[in-house]
Amino acid sequence: THFGYQTVVEDEKEERVYEVFKNVADKYDLMNDVMSAGVHRLWKDYFMSRLAPTSETNLLDVAGGTGDIAFRFLNYVKSSTAEAYDFSDSKLDLDADDVVVDQEPEKPDAVNSMGSVAKPHVTVLDINQNMLDVGKKRAKESGIHKGMSWLCANAEKLPIPDNSYDAYTIAFGIRNCTHVDRVLTEAYRVLRPGGRFMCLEFSHVENPVLRRFYDTYSFEVIPVMGKLIAGDWKSYQYLVESIRKFPNQEDFKLMLEDAEFKMVSYENLTLGVAAIHSGFKL
């Protein structure tokens, strides 16, 4: 039946995405740098400057992978606030794994005596434990022992109470989810009133010259690089195809509005190669 077909296709997508990131986890950070010639770093820096978190922000970074957004969050708060934050907290002398809470996001490492989360704090959530493990290793190597926790879960069904977070970010992750509408409904639910949703995602290039160049690069160069560097052609071919299937800037804006977000806006990065969408729960 039509519905039977749909289920198979959806299950396949989830499995496929899982396999892709399991396969590329170790090489993920290197591949990002090579494929984008480092530009993803600039986009992510800019993304964080648009969020402009403060020392009072409790952030949920969904599809957070190896922690790129989370590390930027901690750095941003550290460098932009007057208070001297030391996320390494050498006094505690903890091993990074000791402070990682995988199952209880509402009570991460830094719950204070009042029972609420000590801020600033970021929860990195991802469906793939392999990606999180690479991120945890990075945290450990950078000497970060505070302000972060890691949670393996599906963005479509968050094991998190309503109204828990001040901000929700998702970078290059939402196009990999099977039901984008469910991801948005869940994002809305876990944000507190006044909280902000921000998404960084590949988007649609209008300029015909850039688009032709970009299409050739994506379809012909990226899978080859995937094969050469990560030994995996298919995963990178999938990633390119998923970018083309994701709604364009205006359609995604409408999806956010359908999910009840207010003051929804977007801005293009690099002529629409990527875009940042933002919305508030009011």
Nearest-CA neighbor of 215 among 204, 200, 227, 199?
Answer: 204
CA angle 237, 241, 244 (to 5 degrees): 150
Site string for ligand SAM, 158-197 (x = CB under 6 A): -------------xxx--xx--------------------
Q: Is 155 annotated as a binding residue?
A: yes
Pair of tokens at residue 44: 């992510």
Q: In angstroms, what is the minimal distance from the CB of 177 to ligand SAM?
A: 4
Q: In angstroms, what is the minimal distance from the CB of 114 to ligand SAM?
A: 30
Q: Please give the residues from 64 up to 83 whose contact with ligand SAM meets the rule CB under 6 A.
A: 64-65, 68-69
Among 26, 133, 156, 257, binds ligand SAM (CB under 6 A): 156
What order do you get walking across the sheet with 148-152 strand by strand?
Answer: 148-152, 121-126, 58-62, 165-171, 191-202, 274-280, 262-269
The residue whose Cβ lies closest to ligand SAM is 65
Question: Cα separation of 128 and 260, whole Å?
Answer: 28
Q: Please give the residues from 113 up to 142 whose contact with ligand SAM meets the rule CB under 6 A.
A: 126-128, 131
Closer residue to ligand SAM (CB): 64 or 279: 64
Residue 48 near ligand SAM by CB under 6 A: no
Question: Cα separation of 117 and 111, whole Å?
Answer: 4
Q: Do residues 275 and 249 touch, judged by C-beta distance below 8 A? A: yes
Q: Is 163 annotated as a binding residue?
A: no
Q: Which residues are annotated as a binding site for S-adenosyl-L-methionine?
A: 66, 126, 154-155
Applying CB under 6 A, the residues found at the interface with ligand SAM are 17, 21, 62-65, 68-69, 126-128, 131, 154-156, 171-173, 176-177
Q: Which residues are annotated as a binding site?
A: 66, 126, 154-155
